[in-house]
Structure 1
Amino acid sequence: MAGREYSEQEQANLEVVKKWVEYYNTDPDRMVQEVYAPDLVVKTMGAGTYTGHDHFLKVERDVLQAAPRRKFRLDHVHVDGDTVIVEVALLNPDAGDDWELYMAAVLIVEDGQIKFDRSFHNIGSEYPLWPGLEDADPNKPGA
């Protein structure tokens, strides 16, 4: 991020991302309720779409129950206006000390909260679906 001056909006959006990571790692309920807009849309490619605080809270609580020591590690941040692109590693020590799932997310921030979150995971045979997300998508048959 060195060498570029950010607008006031971009600086504020970087602060939102800092809170996003901090609260994900310490208080997922607070993350959902304070960092995400009430009418949020989270689309996790290959793992479902979540809308609104109630739905997203349930998903995050399911994940926390399945992987109680999971954390985010923020690797890179790219910001342009209301769009923030983050590259993170999801860590799950319960699956092994070296277990990491790489993810990129395109976040659209409106009025100081994340309104849209499009996340892309490296899910496959080597990295199965993130624990707790098995039943997260209400549009999945049988859900």
Structure 2
Amino acid sequence: MKPTRSTAAPQSDAQRAMLEVVQRWHDLYNSDDVEGFVLKNYAKDANVWFTGASAHGHDQFLSVEAGVKKGAPGRYMRIDHLHFLDDERVIVEAVVLDRARPDFYSPWIAILTIQDGKIVDDRTYLDPSRWPGIEQVLDVVTPGGLGSSQDQ
């Protein structure tokens, strides 16, 4: 992962470890290994919040990611900026792209909380209408998500 713009330099060993997690998260997202993306990056009981919905735990999130990947097999992310908030949280400014549609892009931001080398909380702000494959998982996600009264 080489952000195309700027990345804050890690200021502690914990932040350097978080950078390694973000690197693995990026690389596996951009691969065909959906199961590895979820299992290697997220804690078993991780909460993933995104605009309009959420997923809780490996099983539900794996179903979401598998469905999105099926609907948009050419999707991938480009990380533009990283901002370390502290020794457990990092903000990722990124863009989702789609190899099937070279003119497509959709910017998004994730606030990741990382503990013991795994993401325990993922708060991704995105425009669901511009997220390839999302229509494949509407029956899998938990309604609500970021911005709703159910947002935690």
Scaled by the length of structure 1, what TM-score is found?
0.86
Distance 2:68 2:128 in 1: 15
Equivalent runs, 1:6-45 vs 2, <5 Å: 6-26=11-31, 27-45=33-51
Distance 1:5 1:77 in 2: 10
**1:98–1:16 distance in 2 versus 1, CA, 3 Å:** same
Give the unaligned 5+ runs of structure 2. Answer: 1-6, 145-152
Percentage of pairs with the same residue: 35
Aligned residues: 134
Distance 1:130 1:87 in 2: 18
Q: State the 1:5 CA deviation.
A: 5.3
Corresponding residue for 2:92? 86
Matched, 1:68 2:73: yes
Corresponding residue SS for 2:21: helix
Distance 2:16 2:45 in 1: 23
Scaled by the length of structure 2, what TM-score is found?
0.81
CA contact (8 A) 2:10 2:19 kept: no
Give the unaligned 5+ runs of structure 1. Answer: none
Corresponding residue for 2:54? 49
Distance 1:71 1:6 in 2: 28
Q: State the 1:6 CA deviation.
A: 1.3
**1:75–1:123 distance in 2 versus 1, CA, 3 Å:** same
Corresponding residue for 2:140? 136
Q: State the 1:123 CA deviation.
A: 4.0
Distance 2:139 2:98 in 1: 19
Of 118, 121, 131, 1:113 maps to 118
